[in-house]
Amino acid sequence: MKLNERGRRRCQKPCPSEERPGCPAGRGGPAAGTGAAPRRPEAGLLALLHNTSQLDAGGPAGAGHGSHSFITCYYTTTSYPTPPSARCQPRFLLSGDPKVPVLYEVERTRTGKSFSVRSVKAIQHGKPIFICQASFQLSQQSPMRHQFTMPTVPPPEELLTQEELIEKFLQNPNLAEKYRRHLNKIQAEDVPIDIKPVNPPDIFSTEQQEPKQLFWVRARGYIGDTDMKVHCCVAAYISDYAFLGTALLPHRQYNVKFMVSLDHSMWFHAPFRADHWMLYECESPWAGGCRGLVHGRLWRRDGVLAVTCAQEGVIRVEQKPIQSKL
């Protein structure tokens, strides 16, 4: 999906409603019974999500689907007077085709006074490529509250960005050409996220590491104090960055042949600004059977746990040939 100049959701190619019933881009709008969410303006604040769909062009299944499906579900909970808490549990089924529009079908599974549940299906070529169930809770007060303690790390102002770290590697005149090409390719990617690793690893080392990573992350540009659904959707994209790769840190003697997400669940606990620095704490408690499991926590700078994430993916590796990087 793409956004038009008014920030409204539409498919990549306009299609008549009679040809694709229920398509939000169709002239007739959502077909009866599909539960598809109406198109709504976002006051130009979804430029980052527009970039998300562009970055997913190599295969739309991924963070872009999570963001688009989540915001589509969110539009169907407008009866709640305040921004609700939420959880999102997607499942990736098939690779997507970036040349074909994606049809999102939303089912209003349950609408209650405190909780609502929505089910989303992303369809291409008549087949579901992605499914997601999202649950929303009206904000409620409770005396029962606790959370983990945020890790103590240097502030983002004292750390180098990912681009600055790559530049340091590229300044090495003895760097092998294949590594130089790889780093230049990473540097050329237009990723709409500011990233500052807390303990950046030696990317050329084959030594095993503990399966844990810490990043300061934020969306590039200004989003502002807009509706929380925008920040939640941007966080869904941010949380996918290098997440599954955490499971590879103890196995750096291998080359990755194939790696893809199976699911990516998120629980939103507290309000946050996706365009403000947040600490992303990632860890992998288990890997085996060509699968890896990772957990993540997004912390606000004031120590409040804002988002919890979990992801499982398929990871197939092969032994890395032993050779010098110089």
The residues annotated with a catalytic role in the active site are: 240, 261, 311
What is the separation of C-alpha 277 from the centre of its chain, rounded to a whole number of angstroms? 16
Alpha helix locations (H) across the chain? 47-55, 63-74, 162-170, 177-188, 228-238
DSSP state of 156: G
A 10 A CB-CB count for 146 gives: 5
Q: Are 252 and 209 in contact (CB under 8 A)?
A: yes
In whole angstroms, give the CA distance from residue 278 to residue 263: 23
Q: Are 212 and 250 in contact (CB under 8 A)?
A: no
Q: Are 217 and 278 in contact (CB under 8 A)?
A: yes
In 3D, which of 272, 275, 313 has the Cα closest to residue 293?
Answer: 313
Q: Are 116 and 296 in contact (CB under 8 A)?
A: no
